[in-house]
Structure 1
Amino acid sequence: MNYNVEKLHLTNIEEVSEIRSFLSTFQLDYEKDIDYTVVIRDNNKIIATCSKAKDVLKGFAVNHSVQGEGITNLLITAIQDRLFQEGIFHSFIFTKPIYETTFKSFGYKVIASVEEVSLLEYGFNDIHKSLATMKKLYGVDSSIPKTALVMNCNPFTLGHRYLIEEASLKSEQVLVFIVEEDKSLFPFVDRYHMVKNGVADLKNVTVIPGGKYIISSATFPAYFLREETKVLSAYTKLDATVFSKYFCKQFNITKRMLGEEPYCPVTKNYNEALVSVLENHGVEVEVIPRKWIATPENYISASKVRNLIKKEGREALDKLSEFIPTITLNYLRSEEGKEVIKKIINSNTPH
């Protein structure tokens, strides 16, 4: 039978409702960040679909009654054609490990696989080439063992500075990877420059954009793992596996330092799982107690900074000198910082 691929109109409430209903039968969610969806119908009913959010394929589902009829090929081809039209020649897809073979037949290569999920990518500029380029661009000498930190810095605080200082004192060379995913209230480019300029005096520290392979949409398979504990477990294992298997090997990272998280249960569980996976891959992990002011309860955190700004707006800046370095304070007083303060004030939850 010949099937036609149709573009879903994302502004059509009825069509979006229909795709949500179809995906729910596969225990899949139709996520908010989806920007393009195709469907295949039979007798005017959806029998297959695939979506994308920028360069990540998601929401892939084919009715069991028509599996094996070439529909997967139609869907993937349609999405890849759209990616090429947008000038995107590298993409990711998540699937359950049992479906790896299907996507490998379309040119996708497995980056990492854990119990719940496999991460695959398509395109010439794969993870090996990306990290080799990163290594050359930032002049990383892989002959020297290194300590690594992965930070979001939303915004850069004195707590972050403290962790990097500790790593600098204890290590010959330190790599600080800044999460590049732009889903934080402070834009990536500003977060990166705050950290880079804020630790410029530490000569054995190199600050590097994390790219697409560190804590990004490409390593967060939440869209088909609905239970929070499963999401966290899969997220941690996949992220830590990618870091251990590729980053540690490429950059000669032998140790990763984490900030202690005694207050947030989710982050605490994430850190514990991260330690387990990294150590199983032969990477030493050191957890550093949080920096605090006067008492341990008065610990420094980026979320405290955002919450204070949300509560008091620009009036909070005079109270933040104990929590953030001068470079962050100056940023918040700049025109760019004023816009971020507005976003924090108007946000439901300060991310």
Structure 2
Amino acid sequence: MYDLKLSKINLRKEEERKEVEEFLNSFGLILDKDVDYTIVLRNNVDKIVATCSKAKNVFKCFAVSPDLQGEGVTSTLITNLIDKSFEQGIYHNFIFTKPKNIDIFSSLNFNTVTKVDEVALLERGIYDIKGTLKNIIKKYDIDVNKKRSAIVMNCNPFTKGHRYLIEKAAMESEEVLVFIVEEDKSLFPFKERYGLVKKGVEDLKNVKVIPGTEYIISSATFPSYFLRKEDERLKGFTKLDANIFGEYFCKELNINNRFVGEEPYCNVTRAYNATLKEVLINYGVEVTEIKRKEFSGEAISASRVREFIKEDKIEELKNLIPEVTFEFLNTEKGKEIMEKIKKSNSPH
């Protein structure tokens, strides 16, 4: 290979970060804000000729100068990222790339999860999506011969609106699987969100509450959900996530209907619902949109609950959240989260 030098970028140094951003921009790419490790290859005049980054276990932001493509540069970059992941105790990785690059990464033992026009998702490591679904079937005693519905929720926190949607699905389905988004980027941590929903629907005997895994609305499948800003990549990520759900979850778990709440406020979620309808029909799956439960003429939402907490309207919260959530907010952990919400400017 050419006389190239591999080096790590100090992401805290604006000058170094900007140099990588400019290199990526020349390929129509950006350096995502969540990257925690970036490496570059430089030529003999110290100019960047290749780069890649990772955000936890997701590899992304790849670019290689055209004259170096096919010279084993990608293998050098990937090997370094895998080594870094191992060093951090991470043994399973995803790669975001353009569909035209699938063959390059397949040769490095990555398997394609799914692809859409704009982006492809591949994985490599000690488990995969099919194995994950087999574990879900076994752990939650799922009869794959029975038709069922599904709901995907973040529940940040669990509201009367969430409870209402689950009740509606339970009334119209033989069984409902409620997947709680596992990505920990919300003000209410996954452990608490999952526990509240599980306890809050335990009277509904045909409902099973299941962790969403890395394959449903995660940094790997749908980073825009957490960025909450619209850009040209949003459609690609929504299609990617919807395809994974249809191709794997619906097929393996015999899901024929996905229930969603009507979305009057958030553009990202509204776009996501529209994409689900567009994509899941290709897998023979219906998408049922339910009008949101309201209070005082306004749809109940988790963001409204967080606004009430911010404004210290604690007693009024009883109109928006079930007893299980209200009780949790009065625990030490709940009070700690409420304090974080009052100090936070984040929508999550």
What interval of TM-score do these two structures reach, taking the shorter chain for normalisation?
A: over 0.9
Cross-structure match for 2:5 = 4
Q: Match of 1:300? A: 300
- Does the alignment pair 1:319 with 2:316? yes
Aligned CA-pair RMSD: 1.7
SS in structure 2 opposite 1:21? helix
The one-letter amino acid paired with 2:277 is: V
Counterpart secondary structure, 1:217: coil
1:15 maps to 16
Q: Say which SS state the counterpart of residue 203 (structure 1) adopts.
A: coil
Whether the 8 Å CA contact 1:221–1:231 is kept in 2: the answer is no
Q: Equivalent residue of 1:161, what SS?
A: helix
State the 1:222 CA deviation.
Answer: 5.3
TM-score normalised by the chain length of structure 1: 0.93
For the 8 Å contact 1:57–1:91, the answer to whether it is kept is yes
**Deviation of 1:38 (Å):** 1.2
SS in 1 for 2:299: coil
Q: Structure 1's 54 and 94: CA in aligned 2 closer, same or farther, altered over 3 A?
A: same
Q: CA deviation at 1:229?
A: 5.1
1:334 equivalent among 331, 335, 345 = 331
Please list, as runs of the form range in 1=range in 2, the aligned pairs for 1:219-234 lying within 5 A after superposition.
Answer: 219-220=221-222, 228=230, 230-234=232-236
Counterpart of 1:164 in structure 2 is 166
Q: Report SS of the residue matched to 1:316.
A: coil
SS of match in other structure, 2:220: helix
SS in 2 for 1:9: coil
1:54 aligned residue (45, 56, 61): 56
Structure 2: gaps (5+ residues): none
Checking the alignment, whether the CA contact within 8 Å between 2:230 and 2:268 is kept in structure 1 is no
Deviates more, 1:18-27 or 1:137-146: 18-27
SS at match of 2:313: helix
CA distance in 2, matches of 1:174, 1:20: 45
Cα deviation, 1:92-126, whole Å, max 9, x if unaligned, reads: 00111111111111111111111111111112411
Instruction: Write the distance in 2 (CA, Å) between the matches of 1:40 and 1:171.
Output: 55
Question: Residue type matched to 2:200 in 1?
Answer: G
- Within a 5 Å distance, the mapping from 1:194-343 to structure 2 comes to 194-220=196-222, 228=230, 230-294=232-296, 297-310=297-310, 312=311, 315-343=312-340
Residue type matched to 1:329 in 2? F
User: 1:219 is paired with a residue of what secondary structure?
Assistant: coil
Please tell me the residue identity of whatever aligns with 2:32: E
* Counterpart Cα distance in 2 of 1:334 and 1:28: 45
Is residue 94–residue 221 contact of structure 1 (8 Å, CA) maintained in 2?
Answer: no
Which aligned pairs between 1:77-226 and structure 2 lie closer than 5 A?
77-220=79-222
Structure 2 residue matching 1:331: 3-state secondary structure: helix
User: Per the alignment, do residues 222 and 349 of structure 1 end up closer, same or farther by CA in structure 2, a change over 3 Å counting?
Assistant: closer
Measure how far apart 1:266 and its partner are: 3.6
Q: Is the contact between residue 221 and residue 234 of structure 1 (CA under 8 Å) also seen in structure 2?
A: no
**How many Å separate the matches in 2 of 1:331 and 1:213?**
28
Deviation at 1:221, TM superposition (A): 5.9
Higher deviation after alignment, 263-272 or 213-222: 263-272
CA distance in 1 between partners of 2:266 and 2:87 (Å): 43
1:327 and 1:266 mapped to 2: Cα distance?
28
Q: Could you give the per-residue CA deviations for residues 250-294 of structure 1, whole angstroms, max 9, x where no partner exists?
A: 111111111112344443232122111111211011111111125
Aligned pairs for 1:25-44 (under 5 A) are 25-42=26-43, 43-44=45-46
Percentage identity across paired residues of the two chains: 53
Q: Give 2:67's match in structure 1, choosing from 60, 65, 68.
A: 65
Verify the 8 A CA contact 2:182 2:213 in the aligned structure 1: yes
Structure 1 unmatched ranges of 5 or more: none
SS at match of 1:213: coil
- Distance in 2 between residues matched to 1:22 and 1:70, nearest whole Å: 19
Deviates more, 1:129-138 or 1:24-33: 24-33
Q: Deviations over 1:188-216 (max 9, x none)?
A: 11000000000011111000000000000
Distance 1:117 1:266 in 2: 18
The 1:222/1:39 distance shift into structure 2, 3 A limit, reads farther
Question: In structure 1, what is the Cα distance between the partners aligned to 2:324 and 2:258?
Answer: 26
